Amino acid sequence: MTKFSELNLNPKVLKAVEEAGYTEPTPIQAGAIPPALAGRDILGIAQTGTGKTASFTLPMLSLLARGRARARMPRSLVLCPTRELAAQVAENFDTYSKHLKLTKALLIGGVSFKEQDKLIDKGVDVLIATPGRLLDHFERGKLLLTGVQIMVVDEADRMLDMGFIPDIERIFSLTPFTRQTFFFSATMAPEIERITNTFLQNPERIEVARQATASETIEQGVVMFKPSRRDRADSEKRNLLRALIDAEGETCTNAIVFCNRKVDVDVVAKSLKKYGYDAAPIHGDLDQSQRTRTLDGFRAGDLKILVASDVAARGLDVPSVSHVLNYDVPSHAEDYIHRIGRTGRAGRAGKTMMICAPRDEKNLEDIERLIQKPVPRIPDPTARGGATAEAQPAPETAPETPAEAKPGPKSDDKPASRSRSRSRSSEKPRNAAAKEAGEPATRADAPAADKPAADKTGDEKPAADKIAGDTDKDKSETQPRGRQSGSRGGGNQSNNRGGKPVVGMGDHMPSFIALSFEDRRTG
């Protein structure tokens, strides 16, 4: 077995490695460090958790041990897709360069430009940055990349997923053609392969594991989740998540719960805290200081459950994560590899579980096709409660009247019958309340005999005319003259019904209003 002492590292770097407790390199480190020290470009492909960060950090420090940086012109550049990964790389440089007089700067979002400008103006040997913030400094005229001797692209496949490839190509064009390039990724998509063919010169390809494979020390499983009702799906899914955590008992010392959406991260974290779990969220919309505190608390063991979006899936090194739970099936199959790679690191055992709803089954098939084996199914710990809920579902809408529960007429008649039943059902409670209060019933339920005579005359006569088959012409001949004139002239018809006086104006009514149409003409 190769040892670090056999890799021709700088003695001061080797001393820092030994003080950190490492004696034997991982396969990716043993394969990448010698050609990197020889000045070759490196294309490293390895599954997550295999030590890719040290495989470029150690040779960079050895190569940069001699020399000095000039103001605004860094000697080396490391590009990372996320703030957390960039901060982690910076920590690795601090660990391994403590016996060297090298300076570094970390350029990430959420931090003041002024403080970063001060570091760049002094001159830095190692510049660690996210692509967006790096280009911001360059466009402000605060940074020159013409002095870069070594350039590293870490987690290149994540760069592709986040849409950073155009920025990467632009940054490559701003650096010298003679630079040495290290390119590391867990998977090799066609777009990434195109970039490596364009910007790397005869690279040494180190592939220590089949692409898109998970560590053999990770126990995988998936629960096929089917909600009892659509409107209960979210709450039942969170209940299933808590049941999975409880089922692990004391073996679950800490865990990362991954969600596809940032809003779900907040909801799941809040739900877990509500039920007494020690949980906190981390995603891209949170303030950088809050993200840093949360991650530091999780690493220190002060926080047991970290609920995260994919911002925490790539490259974060928390050595002793016992469980990873995928609350959602990842949309991209490659993300599954990176998520579960947060556990089972450095040869440790780990366990990962995933919740698969019916709409996620196609994404699950893509994952199984990528890893070339089925993900084992595990029983649902809430199956008993779920079966009861399915056997006795609560009705979505209760029938409004008993008549609606019976077989109705043809489909064409359903809307009318439903509207009539609604009107009857809505009036019955009012009538019952009216009876208790001693008030008369409403018109819809009042007996026909109790209706006023004027209503009888006005409502029943047209019906009688229709039964007799009278036409409009016949009606005009048989009806009283006053009614015809009242209907034509728009006057008050009640004035002509049996000579009854007009109700409403009393003694103040002008006399001409009471005249019939014929009287007005003759008068």
Q: Tell me how far CA of residue 87 lies from CA of 81, 84, 315, 379, in angstroms.
A: 11, 5, 11, 39
**Do 327 and 310 meet the contact criterion of CB atoms below 8 Å apart?**
no
Instruction: List, in order of start, the domains of the chain with CATH numbers.
Output: 4-207 (3.40.50.300), 218-391 (3.40.50.300), 451-523 (no CATH)
Cα–Cα dist 290/119, whole Å: 23
Query: What is the predicted pLDDT for the residue at 451?
Result: 42
Q: Which residues pair with 135 in a beta bridge?
A: none
CA 206, distance to chain mean position in Å, is: 35
Tens-of-pLDDT digits for all 523 residues of the chain?
A: 478 989 999 999 999 999 988 888 988 999 999 999 999 999 998 776 678 889 999 999 999 998 888 889 999 999 998 888 898 899 999 999 999 999 999 999 888 899 999 999 999 999 999 999 999 999 999 999 999 999 999 988 888 878 888 999 999 999 999 999 999 987 788 888 899 999 999 999 998 865 556 677 889 999 999 999 999 999 999 999 999 999 999 999 999 999 999 899 999 999 999 999 999 999 878 887 888 889 889 988 999 999 998 865 565 667 789 999 999 999 888 788 888 888 877 667 889 999 999 999 999 999 999 888 999 999 999 876 443 333 333 333 333 333 333 444 443 444 444 444 444 444 444 444 444 444 444 444 444 444 444 444 344 444 434 433 444 444 444 444 444 444 444 444 444 445 555 555 556 666 666 666 666 565 5
Query: What is the predicted pLDDT for the residue at 384?
Result: 60
CA 131, distance to chain mean position in Å, is: 24
Query: What is the predicted pLDDT for the residue at 507?
Result: 62
Tokens of 208: 């220590």
Report which of 86, 107, 72, 74 is spatially closest to residue 153, judged by C-alpha positions. Answer: 86
Query: What is the predicted pLDDT for the residue at 242?
Result: 96
Q: Tell me how far CA of residue 114 lies from CA of 71, 119, 161, in angstroms.
A: 15, 9, 30
Tokens of 98: 């403590």
Tokens of 358: 């019916």
Cα–Cα dist 258/264, whole Å: 9
Query: What is the predicted pLDDT for the residue at 349?
Result: 83
Tokens of 290: 């809050």
Query: What is the predicted pLDDT for the residue at 323?
Result: 94
**Do 172 and 199 meet the contact criterion of CB atoms below 8 Å apart?**
yes
Cα–Cα dist 364/371, whole Å: 11
Tracing tokens 């009283």 back to the chain, one arrives at: 480
pTM for the structure as a whole? 0.59
Cα–Cα dist 189/334, whole Å: 10
